């Protein structure tokens, strides 16, 4: 090899090393940018897929309560392009239906699909985000939650327990209950054994009803065996699917104890924090859409069910006004007692009451009287 050839060879090697170094450092920069975007909570999608287990308080077959949880599972998967899997598990598959709060808080499961009223004994204030006796309707509740500070108050409480939560379902008023015997006075409620939920159960206890909180799948056998005399649970189409109309033929209204009812997605805080900003928006958007979708669906389905009552020997009856007035009076007592015993309950009650006072002016002017 001559001298000039050697020089050309050495130059070629040096150029190759420089080009290789440039290409390698450029590739590493792109990977680091993607990583930086995820770590900083930016919009760069994480290449790591999210695989979560979601324990449910409601069976997948339960109309609205369960089926909406399954719909959320499907929507999250589709909207994320398969990046996020939120796998639905029936009650008892991972944890019992009424123990989801503790499981999610401790990180034993990633997420839960449930109703915040189930934690009344643990955190009484969360009942405002489940159902309030003689409370606001569904539309007014959504207004308070999203534009009156309700959502922020709810999330602040959950955060103390290592949980992030979003309402993902809201339904209109439920029935007042299924009874075997006619109820014409408040005295005829006294001594009954009844499945009842939330703050409404405290009202019923105060007037002499013995209440139990029973999970959905256990209500029918309890009613059939006479363990309970009567029950409330949900909307007519949901109650029909559980078979209550086969045993108790008197279905009373209005649902004074649950003027709205919600279901929430609860997520362990560490799991939530690990998501990037785009993934968090996806969850929140899917839940907001779920509130709208279920409110519309629930309103649409009840008329046909009630129209079919006569063929089943079922009678839909409105509670006499004196009974409603007495229930309202006792509700005021219960709410005042709860507020005096719990600061969070008092804070949230004040927030909701203040919102309702201002909203009442709009409601009085804008909405037709009930008789129209």
pLDDT at 336 over 70: yes
Q: Which is more confident, 29 or 191?
A: 191
Q: How confident is the model at residue 106 (pLDDT cuts 50, 70, 90)?
A: very high
State both tokens at 40. Answer: 């900083």
Would the pLDDT of 357 be above 50? yes
> Which tokens go with 48?
């790591």
Q: Tell me how far apart the alpha carbons of residues 56 and 65 are, in angstroms, rounded to a whole number.
A: 9
Q: Which structure tokens are listed for 59?
A: 């069976």
In this predicted structure, the answer to whether residue 38 has a pLDDT above a threshold of 50 is: no
CA 299 to CA 235: how far, in whole Å? 9
Work out the mean pLDDT of the chain and round it to a whole number: 89
pLDDT score, position 143: 97
Q: Go through the domains of the chain in sequence order and give each one's CATH number.
A: 50-173+260-300 (3.40.190.170), 177-257+314-341 (3.40.190.10)
pLDDT at 30 over 70: no
- What is 112-173 written as a DSSP string? EEE-GGGGTTT-GGGGGGT--TT---HHHHHHHHHHSSHHHHHHHHHHTTTEEEEEEEEE--
Phi, psi of 121 (to 5 degrees): -70, -25
78 band by pLDDT with thresholds 50, 70 and 90: very high
Show the tokens assigned to 312: 């089943």
pLDDT band at 268; cut points 50, 70, 90: very high
Q: What pLDDT was estimated at residue 132?
A: 95
Taking only the tens place, the pLDDT of each residue in 118-133 is 988 899 999 999 999 9
d(CA 257, CA 176): 7
The reported pLDDT for the residue numbered 289 is 95
Say which residue the tokens 């009856």 belong to. 317
Angle, helix 321-341 to helix 343-366, in steps of 10 degrees: 140
Tell me the pLDDT band of 84, cut-offs 50, 70 and 90.
Answer: very high
- More confident site: 30 or 123: 123
Paired strand residues for 113: 56, 265
pLDDT in tens, 290-331: 999 999 999 999 999 999 999 999 999 999 999 999 999 999
Measured CA to CA, the distance from residue 289 to residue 363 in angstroms comes to 25
In the predicted structure, residue 170 carries a pLDDT above the cut 60: yes
- pLDDT at residue 372, rounded to an integer: 83
How confident is the model at residue 371, as a pLDDT?
77
pLDDT tens digits along 218-267? 999 999 999 999 999 999 999 999 999 999 999 999 999 999 999 999 99
- Reported as a single tens digit per residue, the pLDDT across 9-27 is 433 433 343 333 333 333 3
Residue 182: what pLDDT? Answer: 97
């Amino acid at each position: 090899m001559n001298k000039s050839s050697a020089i050309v060879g050495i130059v070629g090697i040096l150029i190759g090393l420089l080009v290789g170094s440039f290409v390698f450092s450029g590739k590493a920069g792109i990977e680091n940018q993607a990583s930086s975007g995820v770590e900083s909570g930016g919009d760069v999608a994480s290449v790591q897929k999210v695989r979560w287990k979601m324990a449910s308080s409601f069976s997948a077959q339960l109309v609205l309560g369960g089926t909406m949880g399954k719909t959320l599972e499907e929507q999250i998967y589709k909207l994320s392009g398969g990046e996020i899997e939120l796998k639905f598990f029936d009650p008892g598959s991972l944890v019992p239906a009424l123990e989801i709060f503790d499981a999610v808080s401790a990180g034993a499961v990633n997420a839960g699909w449930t109703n915040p009223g189930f934690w009344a004994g643990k955190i009484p204030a969360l009942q405002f985000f489940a159902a309030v006796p003689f409370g606001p309707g569904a539309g007014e509740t959504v207004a308070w939650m999203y534009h009156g500070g309700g959502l922020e108050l709810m999330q602040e409480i959950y955060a103390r327990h290592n949980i992030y939560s979003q309402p993902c379902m809201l339904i209109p008023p439920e029935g007042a209950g299924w009874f075997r015997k006619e109820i014409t006075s408040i005295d005829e409620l006294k001594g009954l054994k009844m499945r009842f939920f939330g703050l409404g159960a405290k009202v019923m206890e105060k007037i002499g009803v013995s209440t139990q909180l029973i999970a959905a799948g256990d209500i029918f056998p309890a009613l059939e065996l006479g363990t309970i005399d009567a029950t409330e649970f949900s909307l007519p189409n949901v109650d029909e699917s559980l078979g209550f109309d086969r045993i108790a033929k008197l279905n009373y209204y209005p649902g004074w104890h649950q003027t709205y009812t919600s279901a929430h997605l609860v997520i362990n805080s560490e799991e939530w924090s690990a998501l990037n900003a785009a993934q968090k928006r996806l969850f929140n958007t899917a839940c907001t859409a779920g509130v709208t979708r279920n409110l519309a669906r629930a309103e649409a389905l009840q008329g046909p069910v009630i129209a079919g009552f006569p063929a089943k020997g079922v009678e839909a009856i409105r509670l006499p006004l004196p009974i409603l007035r007495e229930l309202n009076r006792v509700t005021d007592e219960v709410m005042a007692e709860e507020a005096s015993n719990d600061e969070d309950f008092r804070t949230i009650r004040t927030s909701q009451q203040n919102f309702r006072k201002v909203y009442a002016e709009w409601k009085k002017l804008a909405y037709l009287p009930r008789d129209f």
